[in-house]
């Protein structure tokens, strides 16, 4: 599911950014240049449960003659680093292309709030699952020179954003369901 969501984010960016898809590509690998093409890199750098959006109450579904407790979906916060890699050799023109790609990606993600329904992968369209939430985050990792030198790259401008997705729980819980309750309360006594 995470793979299909990341690819859907890339498709969304390609479909809405200027110059796409003829001269632009999206990369999901470690940040780095892609020879001959302007590229936007979506690098998934961290995963964590989004405790603020967690729901604790189970929902109950009727399956045949039984009620089944269905745990709420896991809310997974995926943090991505977005960088741009221009194809041009001229350093000044490459810097301008890089700025244009980053600002277009930033504007698109900050104005979205969520991934449009047309781009949401099928497994994430299950009834009752909330849409992904896209939010820009602090740029602590992408702003670190150590991050870039660990990939063998010079420091680059980049930004981070998080996308909180819902992953349905496949576990079915049959416990704690009341069946045939008789209170035995008498009126008027």
Cα 35 from Cα 33, distance rounded (Å): 6
pLDDT at 188: 57
Burial class (CB in 10 A: 0-12, 13-18, 19+), 11: middle
- The structural domains of the chain, with segments of one domain joined by +, span 2-52+74-166
Cα 149 from Cα 10, distance rounded (Å): 25
pLDDT band at 174 (very low <50, low <70, confident <90, very high): very low
C-alpha distance from residue 96 to each of 67, 84, 90, 116 (Å): 60, 11, 10, 29
CB 130 within 8 A of CB 148: no
* pLDDT digit string, tens, across residues 125-172: 877 778 888 888 877 777 777 777 887 887 888 899 998 888 876 644
pLDDT band at 7 (very low <50, low <70, confident <90, very high): very high
Which tokens belong to 97? 């292309």
Q: In whole angstroms, what separates CA 114 from the centre of its chain?
A: 9
Task: Name the more confident of 30 and 175.
Answer: 30
52, pLDDT greater than 80? no
CB 101 within 8 A of CB 88: no
CB 110 within 8 A of CB 136: yes
* pLDDT digit string, tens, across residues 60-113: 677 788 877 767 777 888 999 999 988 877 889 888 988 999 999 999 998 888
Burial class (CB in 10 A: 0-12, 13-18, 19+), 74: middle
Q: What average pLDDT does this structure show over 39-52?
A: 85
User: DSSP letters of 76-89?
Assistant: EEEEEEEEEE---S
Which residues, in sequence order, are bridge partners of residue 59? 70
20, pLDDT greater than 70? no
CATH class of 2-52+74-166: alpha beta
pLDDT at 170: 60
SS3 14: helix
pTM, 2 dp: 0.76
């Amino acid at each position: 599911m995470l793979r299909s969501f990341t690819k859907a984010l890339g498709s969304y960016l390609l479909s809405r950014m200027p110059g796409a898809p003829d001269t632009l590509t999206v990369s999901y690998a470690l940040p780095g240049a892609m020879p001959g093409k302007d590229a936007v890199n979506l690098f998934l750098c961290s995963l964590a449960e989004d405790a603020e959006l967690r729901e604790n109450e189970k929902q109950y579904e009727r399956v045949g003659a039984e009620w089944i407790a269905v745990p709420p979906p896991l809310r997974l916060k995926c943090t991505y680093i977005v960088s741009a890699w221009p194809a041009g050799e001229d350093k000044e023109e490459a810097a301008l292309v890089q700025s244009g790609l980053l600002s277009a990606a930033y504007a698109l993600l900050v104005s979205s709030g969520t991934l449009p329904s047309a781009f949401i992968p099928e497994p994430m369209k299950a009834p009752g699952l909330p849409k992904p939430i896209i939010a820009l985050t602090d740029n602590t990792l992408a702003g670190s020179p150590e991050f870039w030198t660990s990939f063998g790259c010079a420091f680059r401008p980049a930004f981070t954003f998080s996308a909180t997705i819902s992953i349905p729980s496949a576990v079915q819980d049959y416990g704690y369901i009341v069946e045939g309750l008789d209170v035995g309360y008498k009126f008027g006594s």
